[in-house]
Every structure is written in C-alpha cells, then in structure tokens.
C-alpha cells in the first residue's frame, strides 16, 4: 500500500520560509517513488534564516534554485546567495497581463491576506481554472520548456528547488508539469490537458518540446 503523503510528511521545517515542501516519496502509477533530496518547492526565499539555508544546502543537498517570479517581483525581494547553489530566473507568467494576480499574491503572502483574497476573487483570479491559465499562456509555455531543460541539467548528487512568491500557483504548476512526466497528481489540470492535448505527455512533447528520451532521462534522475 502506498504511503499517504501529507503536508506534515512533506514539510522541510524551515522557520523563515513557509510552504516549503519536498516531493520525496510520491508514488507513480508503476509503483516507483520520487527520490529524497531531489525535488523541493517553496515560497520565495527572501526571509530564509541561516538555519534554513543550512538545511537546504547540507541536508537537502541543494544545488539549483529556479525562481519563477517576474523581474519586478525579484527586484522587490531577492533570494539569498548560498554557496555552491546556482540561481536561475525563469518567467512563467506575463508581467503585464498577470500584474493584478502577482500584486494580489504578493499582498496575500506579505501580511494583507483578507484584502488580497477579496481582490483575487473580484478579478476572477482565484478559481478552479487558475492553473489552466498558466498552461495556455505562450510566456508560460516557453518558461516551463526552459524549466525542464534546467531539470535535466541538475547534477546527480544535488536537489533542485523552485519557487514563486507564495509557492502556490506558479510553483504548483511546475509541480504538475513534473507530475506529467513521472505520472502523479493534480487531477483538475491533468483532466484539462487530456481534453485539449490528448494527454499530459502530449502537452509536454508538443508544447514544451520535451522528447520521450528527455522524459526517460528525468524519470531516471528523480525516481527510484
């Protein structure tokens, strides 16, 4: 029987970075599981403490950070520099079209959650199609194609961490993209991709330009 994955079993227990989780242990349909110390997702790392960085570098073997925020968001709060860790900024949302969403998400995770939530509902940002908006966007498609290229470049003995502002929508969509390769979760968007593209794999092949060989490489790297 597969072990049930919960927020607690996923937590990285970082004190300055909320929504910090590992994908280790998630099972695929063929019974394999995501390797430990390989795939990490969090919110932005601006408030990471020295202890948090020690956990990431020395316990989780962090080797690469992929920052999914826009240039404006990055300028407003830069990630800390960690020894031996490479950093990449990959845009997966259009800065102008998604300005309202980005502003609202920033407010939500920076101390104004009630007004931010009201604004997100008013603008139609927060609904069941939030993730679908990302896979339809040309900017997102180019960004996630680059995201996959970086995943394939990760050194064998290192882990990769990706994040956006709150660690939800963009970071969550990235997790779904990986799930499409290794066969895991996120039913709502997977259903949409099946309806529009035939399967998640076809979307990854045709839109993100990842070949079957690329996907097999990722499976070998991140599954056990």
Tokens of 79: 């990630």
Each residue of 149-192: pLDDT tens digit?
999 999 999 999 999 988 877 887 788 777 667 665 545 556 66
Q: What is the largest CA-CA distance in the chain?
A: 46
| Whole-number pLDDT of residue 62 | 98
CATH match of 7-93+131-222 with 3.90.190.10: yes
Confidence (pTM): 0.76
* C-alpha span between 10 and 22 (Å, rounded): 5
Express each pLDDT in 72-124 by its tens digit.
889 889 999 999 999 999 988 766 545 555 555 555 545 554 555 555 556 55
| Cα separation, 185 vs 198, whole angstroms | 17
pLDDT (0 to 100) of residue 121: 55
Alpha helices in 19-137 (DSSP H): 50-54, 71-76, 99-109, 113-122, 130-136
For all residues of the chain together, what is the average pLDDT? 78
> Are the beta carbons of 55 and 176 closer than 8 angstroms?
no
């Amino acid at each position: 029987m597969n072990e049930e994955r919960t927020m607690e079993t996923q937590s990285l227990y970082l004190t300055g970075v909320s929504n910090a989780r590992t994908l280790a242990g998630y099972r695929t349909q063929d019974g394999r599981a995501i390797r430990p110390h390989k795939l990490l997702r969090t919110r932005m790392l601006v408030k990471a403490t020295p202890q948090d960085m020690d956990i990431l570098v020395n316990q989780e073997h962090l080797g690469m950070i992929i920052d999914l925020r826009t240039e404006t968001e990055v300028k407003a709060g830069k990630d800390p520099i960690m020894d031996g860790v490479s950093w990449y900024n990959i845009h997966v949302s259009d800065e102008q079209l998604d300005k309202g969403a980005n502003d609202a998400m920033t407010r939500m995770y920076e101390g104004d959650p009630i007004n931010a939530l009201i604004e997100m509902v008013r603008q139609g940002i927060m609904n069941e199609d939030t993730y679908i908006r990302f896979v339809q966007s040309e900017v997102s498609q180019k960004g996630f194609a680059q995201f996959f290229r970086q995943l394939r470049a990760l050194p064998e003995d290192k882990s990769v961490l990706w994040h956006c502002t709150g660690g939800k929508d963009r970071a969550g969509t990235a997790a779904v993209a990986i799930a499409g390769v290794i066969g895991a979760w996120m039913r709502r968007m997977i259903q949409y991709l099946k309806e529009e593209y035939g399967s998640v794999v076809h979307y990854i092949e045709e839109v993100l330009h990842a070949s079957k060989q690329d996907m097999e490489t990722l499976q070998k790297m991140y599954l056990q």
